[in-house]
Structure 1
Amino acid sequence: MREVFQQELHEVQERLVEIATLVADSIDDATRAFNESDVTLAEGVIENDRRIDVLAAELDELAITILARQQPVARDLRIVVSALRISASLERMGDMAEHIAQLARYRFPEKVVPKGLRSTFREMGALDVEIARNLTELLRTQDTDIAEHIRNEDDKVDALHLAVFDKVLGETWKGETVDTVDATLASRYHERFADHAVSIAKKVQYLATGDWA
């Protein structure tokens, strides 16, 4: 029974990596759709989110089945419960990528934000993509150094998020109301995407070290 249980835990990990890989692909495509006004990429992200949702639901069902059948305790229980929480965060990250893609689709063929903010969003998008790729590797390896890197990169996203707010609230801002709303929403989606990654990183770090940093 112990061998079967370990196989099931390995399957849980593999499924988390699979979902994280799809999420990383989604944010990559979403940021390119956003920055380049590519409606085809945007629609692909929106469609891909349905697959992420299905895989997350299937993983949750597997984890609940493991809990019911194996009745794990101590660290094994924490692993399964953490998998449920990580799955939920990955699903929300997929939603954030979808929201960014939806903005690109709604504003097509125009760019979503005015020229003065585009470099900021390119940088924010690149950071989110890097965070997502690192998160996939973290789930594959449980390397705590990667968890620390994700948290450091999140600080950069937070700083850019604040810079967007400073820009749209500043006296020199000449954007229309729709520009202000779009920029605010897009910045929030990028920031929340990274926040969910940090939440996952903390859970993996705790499982690896026992330290809830």
Structure 2
Amino acid sequence: MREIFDAELTLLGEDLVAMSRRVERAITDAGTALLTADLALAESVIADDLGIDAMERDLDERCVLLLAQQQPVATDLRIVVSALRMSSTLERMGDLARHVAQVARGRYPARAVPDALAPTFAQLHDAAVRVAQRTTTLLVSRDIALAGSVEADDDLLDRLHEDTFAALLGGAWAGTPQETVDVTLLGRYYERFGDHAVSVARRITYLVTGTTHPTDDLATPA
């Protein structure tokens, strides 16, 4: 029985990694579609989000079943509960990538990002992709030293998000109302993407060390 339970825990970890890789591809493709007005790529991200949602449902059902049947304690309980939390967080990251793709699709054949802010959004894209890649690597390796890199990338996303507000509120902004809305929403999507990655990183740290971040209650951010 213990061997079966251990195999189920291993499979949960592998499926979280697979889910993270799909999120990684989603944010990469969504940002590329946004910056290049690639309609086909945007639509592929939107369609693939259904697969990420299905993976979350499957993971959650299996976690609940393990809790009911095995009644795990101590480390085993942490693993199952963490898998539940992280699957929800990864699903939300997939949703945010889909939101970026939907904005790109909605403005096609034009680019949603005004030329004046294209460099800022290119940096947001690069930082979000790096966050996603490091999240996947962290799930594979459980190297808590990498968690600090995820938080550093999130800090960069926060600063770039602030830069978008500075541009909108500056006297030189000449964008249309639609561009103003798009920039506001897109900046928020990227900023929240980083926050969710931090949530996963802190959950992994909790799994490895058994301790929580001093300012984090391990709740999944909205």
TM range (shorter): over 0.9
Q: Which residue of 1 aligns with 2:68?
A: 68
Q: Which residue of 2 aligns with 1:44?
A: 44
| Deviations 1:160-179 (CA, angstroms, capped at 9, x unpaired) | 00000011011111111111
Q: Which residue of 1 aligns with 2:220?
A: none
Q: Which residue of 2 aligns with 1:162?
A: 162
What displacement does 1:211 show?
2.5
Q: How does 1:193-208 map to 2 (within 5 A)?
A: 193-208=193-208
Is 2:103 the partner of 1:117? Answer: no
Give the secondary structure class of the aligned counterpart of 1:211: coil
Q: How does 1:165-176 map to 2 (within 5 A)?
A: 165-176=165-176
What displacement does 1:65 show?
0.8
Q: Which residue of 1 aligns with 2:218?
A: none
Q: How many residues align?
A: 213
What displacement does 1:4 show?
1.3
Q: State the alpha-carbon separation in 1 of the partners of residues 88 and 116 from structure 2.
A: 35
Indicate the RMSD between aligned Cα atoms, in angstroms: 0.7
Moved >2 Å (runs of 4+)? none
Q: State the alpha-carbon separation in 1 of the partners of residues 49 and 8 from structure 2.
A: 25
Give the secondary structure class of the aligned counterpart of 1:136: helix
Q: Which residue of 1 aligns with 2:78?
A: 78
List gaps (5 residues or longer) in structure 1.
none
Q: State the alpha-carbon separation in 2 of the partners of residues 188 and 125 from structure 1.
A: 13
Q: Which residue of 1 aligns with 2:143?
A: 143
Q: State the alpha-carbon separation in 2 of the partners of residues 28 and 69 from structure 1.
A: 39
Q: Which residue of 2 aligns with 1:100?
A: 100
Q: State the alpha-carbon separation in 1 of the partners of residues 22 and 113 from structure 2.
A: 26
With the length of structure 1 as denominator, give the TM-score of the two structures. 0.98
With the length of structure 2 as denominator, give the TM-score of the two structures. 0.95
Farther-moved stretch of structure 1 (177-186 vs 202-211): 202-211
Letter in 1 for 2:163: A
| Deviations 1:129-157 (CA, angstroms, capped at 9, x unpaired) | 01101101111110101111100110000
State percent identity of aligned pairs. Answer: 47
What displacement does 1:5 show?
1.1
Give the secondary structure class of the aligned counterpart of 2:202: helix
Q: State the alpha-carbon separation in 2 of the partners of residues 176 and 43 from structure 1.
A: 25
Q: Which residue of 2 aligns with 1:11?
A: 11
Letter in 1 for 2:48: N
